[in-house]
Structure 1
Amino acid sequence: MEWMQQSAAGFTECLASPSPVPGGGGASALVGAIGIALGDMVGELTVGKKRYADSEERIKQLMQRAQELRIRLLECAEKDAQVFEPLSKAYKIPREDPQRAAVLERCLRAAAAVPLEIFDLCREAIDVEKEFAEKGSAMVISDAATGIALCCAAMQGAAVNVKVNTRLMKDREWAEKLDSHIDQELKRYTERAEWTYKEVYRRLSDG
């Protein structure tokens, strides 16, 4: 099923169902796509305004990248559902089957790869949103802050969806490499997103 072709009501109904897909990974990808779409909207409402003429070329570049990130995140929502079925089947292989461990390990890597991609896309989305918040129209600064908050939440959701797979991997060197990347970048980008959000909140509070 193409989850991203559904309405918001249809997708959330599927999300609330007993079916394991779509799940946290797909939801994170969708939230990230919504977040970066808000950044793109900030750009659309900034370009052409005399007050922001000096930043216009950079804003256009950010908009282009925001569109690319949104498309890739939506693709990841589909991919996340696709990698679940092979993993589910791998768990059903009899334990005495000599191929089980290798098949399961391969499926765990594939299942971790998609939320890892979502995680990294959301990190870049946070950087893009930060610039939208700094350079975009003050009239829509709240949308930039909302976008960065959503991208941060999506990144955090993707992080735990990597971890749920790495903890089961037998190749601990590979698993720990992924975990280390997640641990370091999650802290760094959560702080970056929170700083930007708080700065916007302060500006709005100060009037």
Structure 2
Amino acid sequence: MIDTKFTDDLASKAPVPGGGGASAYAGALAAALGSMVANLTIGKPKFADREQVLQETLARLDAYRSELISLIEGDAEAFSKLAACWKMPKGTEEERACRSRAEQEALHAACEVPLSIMRVCARVVEADEYLVLNSAKLALSDVGASAVLAKAALEAASLNVFINTGLMEDSAKALAYEEEANGLIEKTAPAADKVHAAVRESIVRVR
């Protein structure tokens, strides 16, 4: 039976997991699909000359999956710390200043975690770019699915970056976060689309 705890928690009114955790989960699924494709390809005589690279690709994808799973909890922790700031007293000037300092500090972590999700998802797409050219044809649809999921996870995680930078008082730091997020999207989305298009070109009978 499939364990539905994460999706049940996601569907509840609890604030975590939320969009960040869901992004990391989707990214982990993308990495897992890439690992499956590598596992299906390793050992086939046709790809014997690429065995070492395929093994290295598999090792990276397994590591990406583990990192993304850990970032689900990391996102929940970052949001919980931020939410705790909003419950701090604000009756006096001193209390408001303390609350503001705590919130601004928590916002940095709340940006770093989704950025980490984006960085790992970008690397999953890079692995897919190799696999789409170096894997068994019967597994190509899974390469395409991996790329689509990784792209979606990356773009979804970016929304958590942008909503938090909008609350930051340090405009230079906020801009740096936003520029990195936009750069990852601009580089990775076309790469993922290219993988998807290559898979469709190879497997779709009617276009």
Q: TM tier, shorter chain?
A: over 0.9
Question: 2:60 & 2:4 partners in 1: Cα distance?
Answer: 28
TM-score under structure 1 length normalisation: 0.93
Take 1:93 and 1:46, find their aligned partners in 2: how far apart are those partners? Answer: 54
CA contact (8 A) 2:38 2:55 kept: yes
What SS class does the counterpart of residue 99 from structure 1 fall into? helix
Q: Does residue 26 of structure 1 match 2:26?
A: no
| Bigger mean CA deviation after superposition, 90-99 or 18-27 | 90-99
Aligned residue for 1:113?
A: 112
TM-superposed deviation, 1:100: 1.7
The aligned counterpart of 2:148 is 149
Q: 2:36 aligns with which of 30, 37, 41?
A: 41
The SS at the match of 1:45 is helix
Question: Please, what is the CA RMSD of the aligned residues?
Answer: 1.3
Structure 1 equivalent of residue 122 of structure 2: 123
2:89 is matched with which residue? 94
Matched, 1:134 2:136: no
Query: How many residues of Structure 1 are paired with residues of Structure 2 in the alignment?
Result: 201
- 1:3 matched to which residue of 2? none
Letter paired with 1:45: L
For 2:186 and 2:39, the matched residues in 1 are separated by 31
Distance (whole Å) between structure 1 residues aligned to residue 78 and residue 182 of structure 2? 23
- The 2-side partners of 1:106 and 1:190 are apart by 30
Structure 1 residues without counterparts, runs of 5 or longer: 1-6
Matches within 5 A, 1:5-16: 8-16=3-11
Secondary structure at 1:22 match in 2: coil
Identity over aligned pairs, percent: 32
Deviation >3 Å, runs of 4+: none
Kindly state the Cα deviation for residue 206 of structure 1 after the two structures are TM-superposed.
Answer: 5.2
1:46-84 CA deviation, whole Å, 9 max, x = no partner?
111111112111110000000000000000001111112
Measured in 2, the distance between the counterparts of 1:204 and 1:41 equals 18
SS of structure 2 residue aligned to 1:19: coil
Question: How is 1:45-56 mapped onto 2 (pairs within 5 angstroms)?
Answer: 45-56=40-51
Cα deviation, residue 94, structure 1: 3.3
